[in-house]
Amino acid sequence: GENVEQHPSTLSVQEGDSAVIKCTYSDSASNYFPWYKQELGKGPQLIIDIRSNVGEKKDQRIAVTLNKTAKHFSLHITETQPEDSAVYFCAAIPNSGYALNFGKGTSLLVTP
C-alpha cells in the first residue's frame, strides 16, 4: 500500500519567516495530494491540494509543489503568522483505493 513519509516532525520559525514541510510517497500511481491543518481539539482541515497533472499550486501565502519523478511534494508557507501554528499533515491517495494515507504530521510553531 501507499506509504507517506513527512519531515520534519517539528518546526519552529519566527513570525515573518518561511516554513517548508516535505513529504515523500511510495505509490507512483498516486494522483491526489492534499495538505491538512489540525488545530488543537479540532479535526483536520484542508488548506491546499494538488493533482498529479500539476507541478505547483499557490493560494495566497501557501504553495504546494509536486515532483512526480522523485515522488515528493512540499508545502511552503511564506510570511508566517502566529495563527499558522498547528500540526500539518500531508496525504496521498493510492491508486488501489480511495482513502487518504496520511504522513505522521509536522508540528509548526511560529513565534512572535
Partner 1 sequence: EAGVAQSPRYKIIEKRQSVAFWCNPISGHATLYWYQQILGQGPKLLIQFQNNGVVDDSQLPKDRFSAERLKGVDSTLKIQPAKLEDSAVYLCASSPRTQLNTEAFFGQGTRLTVV
Burial of 65 by CB count in 10 Å (0-12 exposed, 13-18 middle, 19+ buried)?
middle
Among 66, 101, 108, 110, binds partner 1 (CB under 8 A): 101
Q: In angstroms, rounded to a whole number, what is the distance separating the alpha carbons of residues 4 and 41?
A: 24
Residue written as grid cell 509543489: 65
Q: How distant is the alpha carbon of residue 109 from its chain centre?
A: 15
Among 21, 75, 100, 108, binds partner 1 (CB under 8 A): 100
CA separation, residue 84 to residues 17, 56, 69, 79 (Å): 12, 21, 30, 10
For residues 39 to 58, the per-residue mask of contacts with partner 1, x marking binding by CB under 8 A and - elsewhere, is --xxxxxx--x---------
Contacts with partner 1: how many residues (CB under 8 A)?
Answer: 24
Among 18, 59, 67, 104, binds partner 1 (CB under 8 A): 104
Whole-number minimum distance, CB 6 to partner 1, in Å? 8
**Contact positions vs partner 1 (CB under 8 A):** 4, 6, 32, 34, 36, 41-46, 49, 89, 91, 93, 97-105
